[in-house]
């Protein structure tokens, strides 16, 4: 099993060119929208080459992937999107945002984009979305890379469980108390510690009244049944599959990576040292190097 702990100077220099400064994510807005069952999905496409789609997790948005996406866009046409209830996409309180909805939507989104077998890189909750689209909604992939993903129950931190049980109360918290709670929660996902600008980027979608309600709504609708439903079918995945995990992930501990590798028998696994669940910010250069290595391995020859 490869362990990624150091990266050549060239990749570090590349990271600086792309806008990282010790992990900082530069700001880019999604430029396109797609309407589905009343929801507005914000998305963007850039680069040149075979299609590659990046999926974010919770409570994040596609902004977390942007610097790495810029690197991959040198060899791929990269698609970024915010799930409904997250980022720049709609947050209508009448719309469900659970894993069942997101998996069905993602399968429709691939059809809208005209992508029959894109490469997939998914993080956290996005892993379950990609897996559900593949196993339940007839989506097929050229390759699948799962980064610190939600794939097995139980999932959710003690704070996550508490909010799930009392989401209506949390949705009514005073704004300052809400911000303090979210800040503490988000900081706990990083092993290295978050810079102020990274923290601001992660918290921005949840700052206003609509965002506050949406934050607690997505937790309230989290249900382990959505992963229990598909877990028995993991061994039916035939696409080239690679698992990448932060060795110091406390949200989804690394034992889940080994369990997932066993469930998808042909899958490979790489761990990244000194990285927690927010692996994109804890170890941006090692993660980019690993994803570049993997995508070049599965990318069709010119």
Q: What is the pLDDT of residues 32-83, one digit of tens each?
A: 999 999 999 999 999 999 999 999 999 999 999 999 999 999 999 999 999 9
Residue 133 scores a pLDDT above 70: yes
Q: Is 174 exposed, middle or buried (0-12, 13-18, 19+ CB in 10 A)?
A: exposed
What 3-state class would DSSP assign to 282? helix
b/e code 194-216 from CB counts within 10 Å (16+ = b) = bbeebbebbbebbeeeebbbbbb
Which candidate, 40, 164, 37, places its Cα nearest to that of 104? 37
The whole-number average pLDDT for the span 89-115 is 96
8 Å CB contact between 295 and 72:
yes
Cβ-contact 103, 129 below 8 angstroms:
yes
> For the residues 267-287, what does the mean pLDDT come to?
98
Region 221-247: what's the mean pLDDT?
97
Counting every residue written for the chain, the total comes to 302
Weakest-pLDDT range from 4-13, 114-123, 269-278:
4-13
Q: What does the pLDDT average to over 196-201? A: 94
Query: What does the mean pLDDT of the chain come to?
Result: 90
Position 180 scores a pLDDT of 93
Percent of the chain past pLDDT 90, that is, above it, reads 79
Return the closest-CA partner of residue 180 out of 225, 158, 212: 212
Residue 116 CA neighbour count, 13 Å, CB half = 0
- Does an H or E element contain 144, and which? strand 143-149
Is the pLDDT confidence value at 110 over 60? yes
């Amino acid at each position: 099993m490869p362990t990624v702990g150091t990266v050549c100077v060239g990749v570090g220099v590349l990271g600086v060119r792309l806008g990282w400064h010790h992990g900082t994510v530069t700001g880019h807005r999604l430029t396109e929208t797609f309407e589905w069952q009343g929801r507005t999905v914000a998305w963007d496409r850039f680069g040149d080459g075979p299609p590659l789609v990046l999926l974010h997790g919770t409570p994040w948005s596609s902004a977390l992937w942007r610097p790495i996406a810029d690197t991959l866009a040198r060899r791929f046409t990269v698609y970024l999107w915010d799930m409904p209830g997250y980022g720049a996409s709609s947050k209508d309180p009448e719309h469900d945002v659970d894993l069942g909805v997101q998996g069905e939507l993602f399968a429709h989104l691939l059809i809208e984009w005209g992508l029959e077998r894109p490469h997939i890189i998914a993080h956290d909750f996005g892993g379950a979305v990609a897996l559900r689209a593949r196993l339940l909604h007839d989506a097929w992939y050229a390759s699948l890379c799962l980064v610190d993903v939600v794939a097995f129950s139980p999932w959710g931190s003690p704070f996550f469980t508490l909010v799930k049980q009392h989401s209506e109360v949390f949705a009514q918290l005073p704004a300052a108390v809400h911000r303090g709670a979210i800040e503490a929660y988000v900081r706990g996902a990083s092993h290295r510690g978050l810079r102020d600008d990274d923290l601001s980027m992660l918290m921005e979608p949840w700052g206003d009244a609509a965002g506050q309600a949406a934050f607690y709504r997505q937790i309230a609708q989290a249900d382990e049944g959505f992963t229990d439903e598909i877990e028995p079918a993991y061994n039916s995945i035939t696409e080239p599959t690679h698992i990448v995990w932060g060795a110091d992930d406390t949200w989804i501990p690394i034992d889940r990576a080994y369990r997932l590798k066993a469930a998808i028998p042909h899958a490979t696994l790489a761990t990244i040292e000194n990285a927690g669940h927010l692996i994109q910010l804890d170890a941006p250069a090692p993660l980019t190097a690993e994803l570049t290595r993997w995508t070049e391995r599965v990318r069709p020859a010119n």
